[in-house]
Structure 1
Amino acid sequence: MSAESWVLIWESLLETIYMVAVSGAISALVGIPLGVLVHITRPDQILARPVLHRVLGVVVNAARSVPFIILMVAIIPLTRLLAGTSIGTTAAIVPLSIASIPFVARIAEGALNEVPGGLIEAAEAMGATPFQIITRVLLPEALPGLIHGMTLTLVTLVSYSAMAGAIGGGGLGDLGIRYGYQRFDPVIMLATVVVLVVVVQLIQSAGEKLQARCEHK
């Protein structure tokens, strides 16, 4: 490949990392608290609110059921409102975040469901407040599961970011479509696929190592 091709790949890789990192951070900041709220409002939990739990469950499930490619097109007005444009890497962060927040919420809820009920009962017996139970019992005990879930989320965001290239979202997906497909350049297409595979493997490996360290502790 020419030097220009390598420059294009490098710039597209940085765009993909930017999209995945920012949308991943937003999904964690919103999705994990949302998952905690869904968990603690269950009928048998510390802040039981059955009606609220059902409403949150319906909202999360509805958001998860929309295919990403349709979601990107459906929220173009919102993307334009928040990002000032509907094209480019910054604009792609909006649908990426919205798509991943309910995914993270369900993962967080699942991780919290694995925390033994005896720990919560012991904390309540010692007079711990709901906030203390959440921050000192639930989240620390569920940390390995949360790390595993965020690793899956980041891997999913890599594939979503590639799909965002279909509507001008930038990144490796956009490079593969514009140069590999539309300009019939199989070398660029192959290089794009290889780089995406490497990125996913690095994320998966880092996530597994971090999860193993937390489980050991």
Structure 2
Amino acid sequence: MGQKKWLKKSLCEGQYTLSVLSQGACEDKAFPAGCPALLQMSGSQPQVARGVPCLRCRGLCTGFEPHSWRKMCKSCKCSQEEHGLSSELDDDRKIGRLLAASKYSSLTARLKGGDGGRIYKRNRMIVTNPNISGKDPTFDTITYEWAPPGLTQKLAMQYMELVPKELQPVAGTDGALHRRRRLARQLPLHDQDPAQCRGLAEGEQQLMEEFVSKYKAEALGVGEVALPGQ
């Protein structure tokens, strides 16, 4: 029997692990549920709880039913991210881990009483505008769940006005939800932590740690906001 190599996601959007399988193992392209070789390669990403309603289908989905190896719901075919999001603290921890041990570590803070990890010092912005349409003046308050750090409120508002209104991260809106969905998709834990991958040999874990250090030093960047010519 020959051998066939399968490349499984690990470093970008799940887990990329190169495994050598016997010719007959999991020959079916659909990868039948329970396939031992597939389970060996599958990652250990945290699963959304079963039965969590879909945020996109809004009542049409009977609840999250995890696929055996895809990050999707078997019931409605939407992604895990559409069924439940991590907490804001978890989001900030993921970004903090990404920026830690890099030249952008000043954007993070060490968690007190924790495991020594770092958390992203997310910049929220609260804007208060007077409302004089009524008899007695009142104030309208808008909270942005995220804003570029290190800017005056005037410049930060100029930045926000360039973002499509439906994507502005205003608390309680679809724009804020969209931002958190993108974080869930763009920053999987497997991209940074070998412990979140399953089936990596000891040498592969070391290679991944070296890869993470390398992209933090050579590829990681944080955008800056400034007016033209400044």
TM-score, scaled to structure 2: 0.31
Structure with the largest fraction of helix: 1
Structure with more contact order per residue of length (Cα contacts < 8 Å, sep ≥ 6)? 1
Q: Which structure has the larger Rg?
A: 2
TM-score, scaled to structure 1: 0.33
